[in-house]
Amino acid sequence: MDIVKTLIKYTLIGMVSAIVVLYFTQNDVGVKGTSVDFNEVSVDDAKDIADSSRQSQQATTSYAQAVKITSPAVVNIYTAKVVAQRRPRLFEDPLFKHFFGDSGQSIPRKRLETSLGSGVIISEQGYIITNNHVIEGADEIQVALKDGRNLQARIIGSDPESDIAVLHVADQNLPAITLGQSEAIEIGDVVLAIGNPFGVGQTVTMGIVSATGRDRLGLSTFENFIQTDAAINPGNSGGALINAFGHLVGINTAIYSRSGGSQGIGFAIPIDNVKDIAEQIIQHGHVVRGWIGIEIQNISADLAESFGLKDTSGVIIAGVLNNGPADKAGLKPGDILRAVNDRKVIDGKHAINLIARAKPGTTVKLQLQRGGQEFTSDVVTNERPQIQQNRRK
């Protein structure tokens, strides 16, 4: 009888413990290290949908359905930060100080600086993607949904080197967007940009994919942009670039403009890049990239001549961090880096990208040249040091 009572006792304890663990697990949303659930079409489905549409040759007269299912997940982002106003230079003038003493040395004034942008809800768990430059330095972030809700958001993490940031809002019944696939995008595809240009409210513009794989634009360290002629203006940053089926294919990031307004050249970060960066930020609080501790310099025609090189392909290793991965592998300043993992190096940015793709702790094979002699070197990567991250827990 005592054995039965003991079994019943421990069974009840186990059931109660399981219920408690389950409760806290389900409510532990928006914490670093948690996984995130996406609504996402598969690569094959995305390609099939796009191919069947291209082959139909039927003119589309409206994209209202795509906008209807997508726009609730696109939010307006309002940020505020307190900045100290600089004192007039007159207060620093010695003559002013002579007559008025330190009366001008008062506590500097502070003012509230506000800005606006856009974002996209990528998960019903409350995760929102936007650009790092939209929320950088913000003391307060408000997110306005299309249904009228205004929610307080916090920063989970950001990646200035790709200009992506992840926010989180603690609310339920959030409309999450469906993610498309970068592999299904082709030049000429119709795309729609949804955002909050100039703060006028949610706006939709239409264009096509003008180009893919745009880089070396000087916008960020790691570049791989979709170029589009859909009108993108200030305030659109962080908003959605969707295809004709309402799938998110990119995050609008920048425009090329001499006037400050849209001139038909806009850039968006492809969804595959966005998803990978978002998952890493949610899991680790930052993006994990490979690094070998070298300084890189592009090869100009003059440098090629001085080094006795036949062409300007590859890059010069201008510096090697003492006791870093490259130093341990025997690399020296002046070495010419020709290829990384059998992929020819185009320029410095390309080399950084190729190395960054390697996970820390893995080996990258480098093809180099020193004093006219070609050789290879296997370098074990470390994690790329993080630059200033904008995180608020």
Q: How far apart are CA 170 and CA 298, in angstroms?
A: 47
What confidence score (pLDDT) does residue 304 get?
86
Same fold, 33-76+117-287 and 290-383: no
Residues 134, 234: contact at Cβ < 8 Å? no
- Clarify whether 62 is annotated catalytic: no
What confidence score (pLDDT) does residue 220 get?
86
Q: Is 231 helix (H, G, I), strand (E, B) or coil?
A: coil
Which percentage of the chain shows pLDDT scores above 70?
Answer: 80
What confidence score (pLDDT) does residue 307 get?
82
- Clarify whether 133 is annotated catalytic: yes
- Clarify whether 2 is annotated catalytic: no
Q: Is 118 helix (H, G, I), strand (E, B) or coil?
A: strand
Q: How far apart are CA 11 and CA 315, in angstroms?
A: 67
HSE at residue 104, side-chain half, CA atoms within 13 A, is: 16
Q: How far apart are CA 341 and CA 358, in angstroms?
A: 10
> For residue 164, what are the contacts with CB-CB under 8 A and spacing of at least 6?
129, 130, 131, 132, 158, 251, 269, 274, 277, 278, 281
Residue 154 Cα distances to 132, 133, 135, 390, angstroms: 13, 15, 10, 11
Q: How far apart are CA 20 and CA 5, in angstroms?
A: 23
Residue 232 Cα distances to 96, 99, 236, 262, angstroms: 48, 53, 6, 6
Topology (CATH) of 33-76+117-287: Thrombin, subunit H (2.40.10)
Q: Which residue in the list 159, 163, 229, 335 is annotated as catalytic?
A: 163
Q: 290-383 falls under which CATH superfamily?
A: PDZ domain (2.30.42.10)
Residues 263, 255: contact at Cβ < 8 Å? yes
pLDDT in tens, 127-175: 999 999 999 989 999 999 999 999 999 999 999 999 999 999 999 889 9
Residues of the chain with pLDDT under 50: 4, 7, 12, 16, 18-29, 389-393
What confidence score (pLDDT) does residue 203 get?
95
pLDDT in tens, 289-322: 999 999 999 998 888 888 888 888 899 999 999 9
Q: Which residue in the list 71, 123, 210, 237 is annotated as catalytic?
A: 237
Q: How far apart are CA 93 and CA 99, in angstroms?
A: 10
What confidence score (pLDDT) does residue 349 get?
86
In the DSSP assignment, the letter for residue 361 is T
Q: How far apart are CA 361 and CA 378, in angstroms?
A: 12
Q: What is the mean pLDDT of the chain?
A: 84
Domain ranges of the chain: 33-76+117-287, 290-383
Spatial CA neighbour of 252 closest among 117, 70, 136:
117
What confidence score (pLDDT) does residue 346 get?
87
